[in-house]
């Protein structure tokens, strides 16, 4: 297994694998209230069996080269994660997502981890477009897209129903030449 340092505060980015299902479930239990208003992601891991199933689904996506799942550890504790929800090498497009528990908030962990994913997707895998989708009401997620130097492509009005409420989605993206230019 590998760990990629995310700075000098002890934060690390690591793959999330099936054998970590118990740790992942405990983390999801801590993250659920923060994540649940915006996405059903935490709801996909509500017991050990469903946590394993989610990790298995991403192991299969990684094997098929269509997605990946990484955890963010802070001082040895899983506090969040980032993922390639979609990874399409044929089109050169991918979508990054994230989640976090309260203990990880306000430290820039998601921004730092997302930068690592974007660097890898563009420089190692040749992706041309990296997207970030967020509920328009999720101001923290939108702020990450801005910090990443992404451009707001538009809003899909009331495009998804979650918990009986229609949500607008903001679509943000960065293109490979833009990313390289801002990275210097």
pLDDT classification of 141: cutoffs 50, 70, 90: very high
pLDDT in tens, 99-138: 999 999 999 999 999 999 999 999 999 999 999 999 999 9
82: nearest Cα among 109, 60, 63: 109
Percent of the chain scoring above 90 in pLDDT: 89
74: nearest Cα among 123, 8, 141, 131: 8
d(CA 30, CA 71) in angstroms, rounded, equals 14
d(CA 34, CA 114) in angstroms, rounded, equals 19
pLDDT of residue 156: 96
d(CA 39, CA 20) in angstroms, rounded, equals 22
pLDDT in tens, 91-101: 999 999 999 99
pLDDT classification of 67: cutoffs 50, 70, 90: very high
Q: Does the pLDDT of residue 1 top 70, yes or no?
A: no
> What does each C-alpha distance from 179 to 102, 110, 126 come to in angstroms?
29, 17, 12
Q: Does the pLDDT of residue 58 top 90, yes or no?
A: yes
Task: Answer yes or no: are the C-beta atoms of 66 and 86 closer than 8 Å.
Answer: yes
Q: Does the pLDDT of residue 163 top 90, yes or no?
A: no
pLDDT of residue 37: 83
Cα maximum dimension of the chain: 45
Per-residue pLDDT, averaged over 159-176, amounts to: 92
């Amino acid at each position: 297994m590998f760990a990629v340092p995310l700075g000098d505060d002890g934060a690390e980015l690591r793959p999330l694998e099936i054998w970590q299902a118990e740790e992942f479930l405990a983390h999801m239990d801590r993250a659920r209230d923060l994540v649940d208003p915006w996405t059903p992601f935490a709801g996909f891991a509500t017991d050990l069996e469903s946590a394993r199933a989610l990790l298995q689904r991403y192991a299969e996506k990684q094997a098929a080269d269509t997605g990946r799942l990484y955890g963010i550890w802070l001082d040895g504790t899983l506090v969040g994660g980032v993922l390639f929800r979609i990874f399409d090498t044929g089109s050169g497009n991918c979508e990054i997502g994230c989640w976090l528990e309260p203990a990880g908030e306000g430290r820039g962990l998601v921004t730092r981890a997302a930068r690592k994913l974007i660097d890898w997707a563009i420089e190692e895998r040749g992706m041309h477009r990296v997207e970030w989708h967020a509920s328009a009401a999720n101001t923290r997620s939108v702020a990450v897209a801005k910090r990443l130097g992404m451009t707001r492509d538009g809003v899909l009005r009331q495009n998804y129903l979650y918990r009986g409420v229609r949500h607008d989605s903001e679509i943000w993206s960065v293109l490979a030449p833009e990313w390289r230019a801002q990275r210097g």
